[in-house]
Amino acid sequence: MSAKPIITRFAPSPTGFLHMGGARTALFNHLFTKKLEGKVILRIEDTDKIRSTPEYEASIIDSLKWLNISYDQTFKQSEREEIYKKYLKKLIDEGKAYISKETQAVEDPAIGKNGKDNSDFRSEVIRFKNPGKKVTFTDLIRGDITFDTTELKDFVIAKSLEEPLYHLAVAVDDFEMEITHVVRGDDHISNTPRQILIQEAIGAPRPIYAHLPIILATDKSKLSKRKHGEAVSLNFYRDKGYIPEAIINFLALLGWNPGTDQELFSIGELEKIFDISKVQKGGAVFNTEKLDWINRQYIAKMTNDEFVTQTEKYIPKWLNTSSVQFKKILPLIKEKIICWSDIQKLFDREGELSFIKDISDYPASLLLWKKNPDPKASSKHLEAVRTLIEDIQDNNDSEFTVEVIKNAIWAYVETNGKGDVLWPLRVALTGKERSPDPFISSSILGKAETLKRIDLALTKL
């Protein structure tokens, strides 16, 4: 006899874009299930017709695809109304639920993210006949949790036979889909006893629960869209040009760690070592500095070819990515950015690498070294350096390297003072205070352009 296969589900409500917490739930379901060679279901929970939209649904599916999280099967609750109806009828027939006359509006308890009021007045709804008892369930992360369900009273499970609400749909689907493990955010802990009561009433086995810790901002407040704005949405990071693999790596560490110092993991590695019993109970702090660090590590690991393919839409069109010059610029870009959108900033007018395209006008005073602000000194050094650079035998740009330039002028620099010589050279080449060191700038610009810019500086002095 073979063991029962593991089946889990990620069950987003399409009432908002996928947020980082939802993405973590999707990832932890994926990792937990892959390790045990089970199957993961994507279940779109759109019973809340007021808040759910097809746009949010499409966006969530697109985000999961971008993260490279895939599913063995997909279901949509709005296409399963016949199934819920069958269970509702049965519950009513067996006296476990009843039609109740109402005087107040009902809300679908599905977690809504777009803040729209979903309350709806019906003169009749279907209520669950709550047996009012203590329910204890074992959570893989939190241990035993006990609730007295008496205070939940006879809660509403459907607006009508055709309109089930969240708890009923979840309990029925977990049963019908043979879900063995429910891995979800701990904001659902208080929903669990209701769902267990419904399971018992329909004769469903109880899945094993694992409620993932809340995600906190660095000030330890609950991370929320209201307070933290766009920074909670996955699209925000996607639009800024973070690498999906880096986001996966970051999300994996939100509440879990392998118990070693290792911080960088590929998804394949995570699938092997992820252990749900190592997930912490306490809140997981969402530290964007950590995300930035991880993203930079992924950038550093990339080959130049990968880098160029990934960043095509961010690199300014005037740069020829197959040129020798670009090869020289690439390490600088890699070193200076956190995510892809920073590339554009580097080449903006104010950006540190904008000098490559053209030099903007700068005041002559910028060419003066602060410890010896004499125009004659700057001009003497620039002339000397100009001659030394002119004498370099370069046949092409690839030979005009940092080393070659350094070898040509280093002796002069040492005798005459680093700041005295290199400061005016830096400004002459870039027109800026904040810029790469002049050997790098000169190599990128090439010999002819270097000489041209030194000449321009000399005319200013």
Residues that bind ligand GLU (CB under 6 A): 11-13, 45, 110-111, 170, 184, 188
Which residue, 188 or 228, is less far from ligand GLU as judged by CB? 188
3-class state of residue 102 by DSSP: coil
Which residue, 60 or 252, is less far from ligand GLU as judged by CB? 60
* Pair 112, 181: CB distance under 8 Å: no
Which residue, 13 or 325, is less far from ligand GLU as judged by CB? 13
* Pair 128, 197: CB distance under 8 Å: yes
Cross-sheet strand order for the sheet of 97-101? 97-101, 124-128, 156-160, 163-164
Long-range contacts of 453-457 (CB under 8 A, 24+ apart): 453/359, 453/428, 453/429, 454/382, 454/385, 454/386, 454/389, 454/425, 454/428, 454/429, 455/386, 456/359, 456/428, 457/367, 457/378, 457/382, 457/424, 457/427, 457/428
| Strands 156-160 and 124-128, bridge-based pairing | antiparallel
Contacts of 225 (CB under 8 A, 6+ apart): 16, 19, 113, 232, 233
Min separation Cβ 192 and ligand GLU, Å: 9
Which residue, 108 or 245, is less far from ligand GLU as judged by CB? 108
Which residue, 12 or 213, is less far from ligand GLU as judged by CB? 12
Nearest to 25 by CA among 5, 48, 42, 45: 42
Min separation Cβ 2 and ligand GLU, Å: 27
Q: Got the DSSP string for 387-433? A: HHHHT---SSGGGS-HHHHHHHHHHHHHHH-HHHHHHHHHHHHHSSS
Min separation Cβ 182 and ligand GLU, Å: 6
Three-point CA angle 42, 38, 212, nearest 5°: 65
Min separation Cβ 269 and ligand GLU, Å: 26
Three-point CA angle 95, 96, 97, nearest 5°: 95
- For residue 365, what are the CA distances in angstroms to 378, 403, 439, 456? 10, 29, 22, 14
Which residue, 43 or 453, is less far from ligand GLU as judged by CB? 43
| Strands 124-128 and 97-101, bridge-based pairing | antiparallel
Which residue, 122 or 188, is less far from ligand GLU as judged by CB? 188
Which residue, 11 or 267, is less far from ligand GLU as judged by CB? 11
Which residue, 170 or 315, is less far from ligand GLU as judged by CB? 170
d(CA 174, CA 189): 16
- Containing 124, the helix (H) or strand (E) segment is strand 124-128
Min separation Cβ 118 and ligand GLU, Å: 13
Min separation Cβ 185 and ligand GLU, Å: 7
Min separation Cβ 162 and ligand GLU, Å: 20
Min separation Cβ 292 and ligand GLU, Å: 28
Min separation Cβ 443 and ligand GLU, Å: 54
From the DSSP assignment, how many helices (H) and strands (E) are in the chain? 18, 15
DSSP assigned state of 222? B
Which residue, 184 or 381, is less far from ligand GLU as judged by CB? 184
| Structure tokens given for 344 | 């554009």
Min separation Cβ 19 and ligand GLU, Å: 10
